[in-house]
Chain A
Amino acid sequence: MSALKRYWRVALGMVVIAALIIAPMYLNRYGLFILSQWAVMTIAATGLNLTLGYAGQVSLAQGAFVGIGAYAAAIMTANGMPLIAGLGVAIVLCFAIGWILGYPALRVQHHYLAFVTLAFSTLAFLVFRNESWLTNGIYGISNIPRPTILGYPTNRPLPFYYVCLGSLALVSLATWWLIRSPWGRAFVALRENPVRALSLGIDTRRYTLMAFAIGSALGGVAGTLYAPLTQYIDPVPFNLSLSLDLLMMVIVGGSGFFFGPFLGAMIAVLLPEWLRFTQGYYLMIYAVAVILLLIYSPTGILGILDRYLTERRTKAASALRAVAKSGLEPAP
């Protein structure tokens, strides 16, 4: 049975990947922009999912790391350096700052940690806005070039979408590897029971800092793609509301589920487009929908699916036990 389920899963994955590659060829410029934005936000949300969903550390600063990545890419490429150099700087910078931001998490948790990270988010926004010598302040940085990859210019929307999609694929593979490694298990242990984890030799301090650093670095990766995607950045998109949006993506999709951010980012990016006809009421409808979802399933959309599958497995198992008890042959 589980082998069959595995086939279905692989088949579903193939269909989704094929659709993500083929369908955009028939999309217009705006559709491609939205889809690229989805890929970029999924990367940032995947990073937050690592910090929050797996390791259980609340962060309201992921938007700031997207900003740091975006400014690193924008400043460097606008000065003639290749995007890959911007990517390297963004990763190193966000990893280091994320590591430092992790220190408060060693002392405070939950709401208190949220406040500390919120303060950092505000600080980053002020730096983007006020340090004009570096960021050009409220005027922002324009004419951010898109990269040339293996001699291929990606100026047009479709090639650049493939850059975003390819980056998402690489990030997903790396994250998948990470959460299946002993590190991933240690992150979950950190979330579920730090005291017990410590008594099993798990250096919770180091893993907490790592969870912050890696999650933040992925925010930086997203930022490096965001800058050439919009080709113009100013401080506004990286204020606190981006951090809150990313938090919503993780929670709505399903915090601690690998595909949660994919789903959450899709809803957060596409829903405004679908609800456009409601005009001013869009945010209200979105808010009500999210509240209802979280009342029904605090573990997000994938949490509903997970609950359903667990229930079915439990039922099947108890049916098998009953059959075993009664001495009947189970149906073939």
Chain B
Amino acid sequence: MTAVLEISNIKKNFGGITAVDGVSFDVQEGEILGLIGPNGCGKSTLFNCILGQLQPSGGEVKVDGKVVTGFRPSDLNRLGVSRTFQLLQVFPKLSVRENLILAGQEHQGNMLSRLLGPSDAGLTKAAEQMIDFFKLGHLADEPAGGLSYGQQKLLDAAMAFMGGPRLVLLDEPAGGVNLTMLGDLKARLAEINREKRATFVVIEHNMEFVMSLCSRVVVMAEGKVLAIGTPAEIRANSAVIDAYLGH
């Protein structure tokens, strides 16, 4: 197995506050890694440092062995690193289909071909497949802003997969999604992981979701890594139980 993502000693300070304090771990190819921890422990900040939304104060990020620390999010995305956000981030005025085309259009051709080429950048078919895959077929032409919260979450996740990423970082994909849709989402993620060999890092508070989907789990507390292990090991770890899971 090779590591798709290696982060070593990542630090992030905001003034006097240390949000992420020397975090290191690897993510292996094809793995689904869970990232859990209490609110404010630095999970999302770590994501933002990995993805270039924030500049880390120290440490190094490698994707496929290449140092990408400080790369801009758009460049990282075109290298095959995709993400979803904790809060909904779809484009409300564009239709579901257009949201998906937008999510894939910068992954092919160049500025000129995107100006002079076809309006859909040749992505209508790929978008339709994604729409079917996430069961959004009846909503394809609706403006994304008119969808229910759970449907927008699905669209948000679908957008992250349009560019055919190698690595996807999902920030609370299950937050606010009802049980039926949650089952759907889990099945979709597992399927993409299996068939496309896509690697995931998932931040999530829903323990059942994390424990059943992930092969390994990283637990963070107060900006540091508290434990790394399989779901069973994490469940049995007394430090984790004290800090987070509770008795």
Contact = CB atoms under 8 A, between A and B. Distances in A.
Interface string A197-220: 011111110100000000000000
Given A199-B82, A206-B111, A182 B105 contact: yes
Nearest to B169: A199
Interface residues of B, number: 34
Interface in B57-116: 72-74, 77-78, 82-83, 85, 89-94, 98, 101-103, 105-107, 111, 114-116
Given A188-B94, A196-B91, A201 B106 contact: yes
B114 A181 contact: yes
B24 interface: no
B93 A178 contact: no
B51 interface: yes
A119 interface: no
Contact size range, A: 20 to 34
B103 A200 contact: yes
Contact of A185 (B82, B90, B92, B102): B102
A46 B97 CA distance: 27
Contact of A181 (B51, B115, B159, B163): B115
Nearest to A210: B111
A185 B94 contact: yes
B215 interface: no
B41 to A, nearest CB: 22
Contacts, number: 83
A199 B170 CA distance: 12
Interface in A216-265: none
A186 interface: yes
A189 interface: yes
A185 B163 contact: no
A288 B103 CA distance: 43
Interface string B132-176: 000000000000001000000000000100110000000000000
Interface in B198-238: none
A198 B102 contact: no
Interface of A: 178, 180-183, 185-186, 188-189, 192-193, 195-196, 198-204, 206, 314
25 contacts: A180-B119, A181-B115, A181-B116, A182-B105, A183-B114, A185-B98, A186-B102, A188-B91, A188-B93, A189-B94, A192-B92, A195-B53, A196-B90, A198-B73, A198-B77, A199-B53, A199-B74, A199-B77, A200-B103, A200-B159, A200-B163, A201-B107, A201-B163, A204-B74, A206-B111
Interface of B: 51, 53, 72-74, 77-78, 82-83, 85, 89-94, 98, 101-103, 105-107, 111, 114-117, 119, 121, 146, 159, 162-163
Given A193-B89, A195-B85, A204-B74, 11 more contacts: A181-B116, A182-B105, A189-B102, A192-B92, A192-B93, A196-B91, A199-B53, A199-B85, A200-B82, A200-B163, A201-B78
